[in-house]
Structure 1
């Protein structure tokens, strides 16, 4: 055979083998957010229009190349679909693909609020979103700084892990803890039947996203005049299998360690996370020690059924430094409350251990009819030596929630009907003792408390002509307490029952989408908020039998959207809230909080948030520069308030700043370097109903600088450092309102620093 024939045969063989070679060749790529340069997980990657794979946690994917120049399509919700062509000279190396976020961000963001599951632009109501990126711009020691970035909401810490959450002034009745705000975790009640919420049992790393619904939302979420917080757990994304460890160290002995393992497939995911946090404290008697274990899972065994299960175990200990007078605060803000019943002498602290297990199923009977049902159980033990007494409580609780949704049509009008209910039952054994230097003394009271709370709700949504969405909702709420006193030295035994009569709470809302980028909305809602068990049975064992439920009506109107070539986003809401039978708290001579109804309050406010993207050039060294801010104006007054011979009508509402604002700058480079700067201003705050003492206004700032890099195909590294209270401001965070003896002030830390790193391995 001639040389030419050999060459001809060899050429034919190569040409015949080429398609098979290409068919077996693997594409290797990595998908990044073009604005932030961060990996995108869950991106659908298809070749020739056929779905092949999803990108993993680090953005990597592999797919099979079927032909020369085959179109590879990458699509992801909230981002512009991109098509890439791999040339025949592709050598198998990893190629980065940058996906551009869609300008219509508000159109793409889905919210759960009011169980509508609509884009934010199509949701009629004042809703603020706190994404995971906002939580991680701080050191994750608490949620306070992340929550305070949104308007109309204020979160405080009287001591590390001693949270107080106020939505439109609702902390008026919360000397400690969270009340008058309903909290859900993965759609399962986290607020207990007795009306309290132990949010400090969660670590900031357990939360994937927060939705905050402001004002009365009783139509869907039961009794409440403050608002509702919907927490989404961290989950593993489809295609993700990773191990991650991290550590943060900071001033005043702050340490935080985390370990996370996650595995995600197309129809299942499981995430296990353990977090340990310790802190010596800025003030005397303000240390914290907390361990949290989260198991978060979700399964889709069939096309019709999705099941999620969550377990949260927490063991929390933190100390209580106590409030300071103005003179003590000025002299030494780091000192704890002193004296015979001082915080150090009495070991004022709280030891809280709890486990919460929740199970939820969504079942789709058809494309138009579905049901979501959840059940949960919790067990909690509290050991609480206080300055003047010692409490020991054990609580067991179970409950559930179910809702049915039917998508239908009334002629040409698309309609969604929602019908459901929720029930909770808690049993608590509560004992109080004398506090003898941090140990239990003589028994004062021994109580058994049964709390029952439930409601039925119905809602209808109508998609009317001219891009108008109308919503009508109604709920029927009922709360009952039964307190059995087994022992009390002074008054003897008794049984006390309190049933707050069922109340109908309606909500009506309208939304008009002016364009595909701007919408306006208006709503009227009624709220009903019965006292919590702690407000009826105070810590000194006294019964507050005269306390009535708060009732109020809220009117609001708002506009949200984006403009200027999608660089500017905005959300503005104005509201008027008239609250009757307002509950306020006051401390007695033994520092025990007592509660009473004081007539009515008049609350007018304006809440705004805005963001502007100055630079978005993913191919340039400086790839993103963005500024954002929020502002809250609160004109809150006591409308009718008479205490003995003194009339407080017209006074400023206690604990509410007239003006509050937060602003931030975000900078990202293509190399992975990022910088976040956040500043928070709070106006002076009235600390008593008489308006004779105010906390000074303050401006604090914090900054974080970090670097995120991918080290090969499997390892991801982040190193960071930051500073809080950059201005070294002296301020009080978590003031004790109406405190006896003028002990109003709870000093916040001065300038402090932190640094840390995290290492992630993708299997």
Structure 2
């Protein structure tokens, strides 16, 4: 009897001991995998339970369900083009998991783009789009975005002085003597370009940017007025599961110093990144010192599975000196000198002082798998104190805006359709005063103006995924821009003066077609219209004169291209040809006072080819040399004035001012298992016509740069990046940011000769 009792007790305790294990074995982990950037579901993710090596694949909604053993489980998530993730899960789960994977795409078939509002792979996007990610930005010293942007075909970024930027997409800088104009820019879903048409890109630090998408040509059907293109910036954000502190310092030639501190934390429900950067530069040329402090707060919240709230705040305090342009004789004699004379840059203390705050808030709500809305609001304030060679400007800006879009996905028979409708509104108020500049001090007032700028658009887009791997897109937008200017100085004298300019609202259509030729190659073609009204600075010039007759530009662009991968993904290529016709083309010229004035000159024809290639020779994570890659881009521009007469001089047929016929960039990337890396970059720019008459050209130049370093992980928490680099290794004498149609033949803004930098970055995982 006792023996039977012992057997029963033994069986009872054995059963009791095995019961939890059996219960744990029956646990099922359910979840959904999303793209960390777009928050779209990821299909085809390999989900592995480490203990059993059981693998399943996420479905088209990103959902998965996998059994697991024990009181906890280790689950691995892998998808080509995304950083692998490992997650420790305690069982049993009380809710469905939501996993976000960070994109790290290096292959065109893997790159996801947000341009044209489609969140598709680049291979399935009909349009000329180039992506500049953080890896490209970090090839250089992060002092500016110039060298990173100049790796893109069809795009040219210039720096007339440190922090004085100009961007040209397919010749769009023709009307930009300074600053970024005729290119619409966004930070996330928030317009960065102000209602007045200008973008203060120099208020950002290169380290603030996590990614850039550059859309070339007219994109007014979705992003509003503009004939030059659009640039979509994504602020740097914390990665899911990331809790770290990073500090870095860089120093280099001509007094270059840059310091950065970044703290980030990322979870399943929220992430936040705080960054402070400080940059100082004594300058290669006389009177080219600069200093910039930037504070960035970037956050994402996921309160429910259907909601995402994104927000950013950027505070910037910027100061830089303006050396002024040189004549050919001055350039040859001493390229490091500043513009001299009684109106010289030093004598007049030509400088820019700006500080401002940009705030943006976006809310995405998924009503269902088929309905989604994203609504964004933003605001900014900015103050500017600007003694110039010939005047003294003091401006203050405040602005707010709203952008919202609703997307519906539907199935129409065998056709998948995506419909998007939305709108955008911006209103800016500016107080602008100009004075005499008395040796860098405020003199007598010249003008006292208040400017209200309003711009808005309504847009709609339909995209159809057709049988036989065709994708068709049709889009249309309605654009409207108005300026209200009150001249207070004259009003105070009893001469009430108001000037209102309401540009006729314009419809901008876009039609595009894409064909998947194979699993890795696609061809696309599109026709799009562009519309670009004058900016506030083109109507109200810095000498206080109102340009009341200036009309908006209108253009039509035809485009076709092919992109994809070959040789098992080792060769990536992207080739686009385009033909653009622009009417009422706006050009700038300098008058005796060196003030830029603007006028419509007829029309231009702009034909070109843009090519990007990348070949991965070696990519073996466990090999001593685990990456060896060659890449390059080439741009051919055949840009001509079609109808242009100045006085009695016929300029029709001349080359478009400021545009190089040929540009090319090439690079090599090498990385080893022990952490050593090498990045080599070369950039060639052909002769550039500097005036409309085509009598003066800048010299062609070839510059090279290199960055080498060691990235190592020390222990489980500390990572180090020690690097050294050099720019302009060929020691070329060249001008980066020429003054076009300059009075007194002052065309040249010399760039630095051979220069060096080095730095150290430490990242500590918390």
TM-score (norm 1): 0.89
Aligned length: 712
Q: Which residue of 1 aligns with 2:37?
A: none
Q: 2:573, 2:612 within 8 Å by CA — same for their partners in 1?
A: yes
Q: 1:358, 1:377 within 8 Å by CA — same for their partners in 2?
A: yes
Q: Which residue of 1 aligns with 2:522?
A: 519
Write the deviation string for residues 650-684 of structure 1: whole angstroms up to 9, x where unpaired: 00000000000000000000001000000000000
| 1:43 Cα offset (Å) | 10
Q: 1:415, 1:462 within 8 Å by CA — same for their partners in 2?
A: yes
Q: Which residue of 1 aligns with 2:619?
A: 616
1:578 aligns with 2:597: no
SS of the residue aligned with 1:589?
coil
Aligned partners of 1:236, 1:117: CA distance in 2, in Å?
20
Write the deviation string for residues 342-378 of structure 1: whole angstroms up to 9, x where unpaired: 0000000100101001000001111100100000000
Match of 2:487 among 468, 485, 488: 485
Q: Which residue of 2 aligns with 1:58?
A: none
Match of 1:471 among 462, 473, 476: 473
Aligned partners of 2:81, 2:173: CA distance in 1, in Å?
36
**1:519-598 residue pairs with structure 2 within 5 A?**
519-598=522-601
Q: 2:49, 2:68 within 8 Å by CA — same for their partners in 1?
A: no
Q: 1:632, 1:659 within 8 Å by CA — same for their partners in 2?
A: yes
SS of the residue aligned with 1:375?
strand
Aligned partners of 1:125, 1:553: CA distance in 2, in Å?
15
Aligned partners of 1:71, 1:297: CA distance in 2, in Å?
28
1:665 aligns with 2:654: no
CA pair 724-491 structure 1, distance change in 2 beyond 3 A: farther
Q: 1:217, 1:228 within 8 Å by CA — same for their partners in 2?
A: yes
| 1:78 Cα offset (Å) | 1.7
Aligned partners of 2:519, 2:697: CA distance in 1, in Å?
46
Aligned partners of 1:311, 1:699: CA distance in 2, in Å?
39
Q: 1:293, 1:313 within 8 Å by CA — same for their partners in 2?
A: yes
Q: Which residue of 1 aligns with 2:264?
A: 262
Q: Which residue of 2 aligns with 1:707?
A: 710
Larger deviation: 657-666 or 408-417? 408-417
Q: Which residue of 2 aligns with 1:749?
A: 752
Write the deviation string for residues 405-443 of structure 1: whole angstroms up to 9, x where unpaired: 000122221111000000000000000000011110001
| 1:121 Cα offset (Å) | 0.3
Aligned partners of 1:338, 1:136: CA distance in 2, in Å?
37
Q: Which residue of 1 aligns with 2:285?
A: 283
Match of 1:319 among 313, 318, 321: 321
| 1:491 Cα offset (Å) | 11
Aligned partners of 1:145, 1:104: CA distance in 2, in Å?
19
1:353 aligns with 2:351: no
**1:3-82 residue pairs with structure 2 within 5 A?**
46-47=49-50, 48=52, 66=69, 73-78=76-81
Write the deviation string for residues 545-579 of structure 1: whole angstroms up to 9, x where unpaired: 11000000000000000101211000000000000
| 1:620 Cα offset (Å) | 2.0
CA pair 43-446 structure 1, distance change in 2 beyond 3 A: farther
Aligned partners of 1:761, 1:83: CA distance in 2, in Å?
19
| 1:621 Cα offset (Å) | 1.3
CA pair 335-43 structure 1, distance change in 2 beyond 3 A: farther
CA pair 707-146 structure 1, distance change in 2 beyond 3 A: same
Ranges of 4+ aligned residues in structure 1 off by more than 3 Å? 42-52, 64-68, 70-74, 79-84, 101-104, 488-493
Aligned partners of 1:50, 1:436: CA distance in 2, in Å?
78
Write the deviation string for residues 384-403 of structure 1: whole angstroms up to 9, x where unpaired: 00000000000000001000
Match of 2:131 among 97, 118, 129: 129
Aligned partners of 1:449, 1:580: CA distance in 2, in Å?
27
Aligned partners of 1:556, 1:361: CA distance in 2, in Å?
34
SS of the residue aligned with 2:148?
helix
Aligned partners of 2:77, 2:288: CA distance in 1, in Å?
51
Q: Which residue of 2 aligns with 1:367?
A: 369
Gaps of 5+ in 2: 1-9, 26-44, 57-66, 88-100
Aligned partners of 2:496, 2:613: CA distance in 1, in Å?
58
Aligned partners of 1:339, 1:241: CA distance in 2, in Å?
55
Aligned partners of 1:348, 1:491: CA distance in 2, in Å?
34
Q: Which residue of 1 aligns with 2:196?
A: 194
Aligned partners of 1:344, 1:591: CA distance in 2, in Å?
16
Q: 2:47, 2:75 within 8 Å by CA — same for their partners in 1?
A: no
Q: 1:468, 1:511 within 8 Å by CA — same for their partners in 2?
A: yes
Aligned partners of 2:306, 2:82: CA distance in 1, in Å?
27
Aligned partners of 2:469, 2:138: CA distance in 1, in Å?
37
Aligned partners of 1:528, 1:80: CA distance in 2, in Å?
40
Q: Which residue of 2 aligns with 1:147?
A: 149
**1:125-274 residue pairs with structure 2 within 5 A?**
125-274=127-276
Q: 1:46, 1:74 within 8 Å by CA — same for their partners in 2?
A: no
Q: 1:104, 1:566 within 8 Å by CA — same for their partners in 2?
A: no
Aligned partners of 1:756, 1:184: CA distance in 2, in Å?
31
| 1:76 Cα offset (Å) | 3.7
Aligned partners of 2:113, 2:83: CA distance in 1, in Å?
20
Higher relative contact order (CA 8 A, sep 6+): 1
Q: 1:104, 1:517 within 8 Å by CA — same for their partners in 2?
A: no
| 1:741 Cα offset (Å) | 0.2
Aligned partners of 2:355, 2:440: CA distance in 1, in Å?
19
SS of the residue aligned with 2:109?
helix
Gaps of 5+ in 1: 1-8, 25-41, 53-63, 85-98
Q: Which residue of 1 aligns with 2:7?
A: none
1:299 aligns with 2:282: no
RMSD: 2.9
SS of the residue aligned with 2:468?
coil
Q: 2:313, 2:357 within 8 Å by CA — same for their partners in 1?
A: yes
CA pair 614-49 structure 1, distance change in 2 beyond 3 A: closer
Aligned partners of 2:598, 2:106: CA distance in 1, in Å?
47
TM-score (norm 2): 0.89
SS of the residue aligned with 1:134?
helix
Q: 1:104, 1:562 within 8 Å by CA — same for their partners in 2?
A: no
Match of 1:680 among 678, 683, 699: 683
Aligned partners of 1:165, 1:104: CA distance in 2, in Å?
25
Q: Which residue of 2 aligns with 1:689?
A: 692
CA pair 172-375 structure 1, distance change in 2 beyond 3 A: same
Write the deviation string for residues 214-256 of structure 1: whole angstroms up to 9, x where unpaired: 0000000001000000000111111111111000000000000
| 1:108 Cα offset (Å) | 2.1
CA pair 654-409 structure 1, distance change in 2 beyond 3 A: same
Q: Which residue of 2 aligns with 1:414?
A: 416
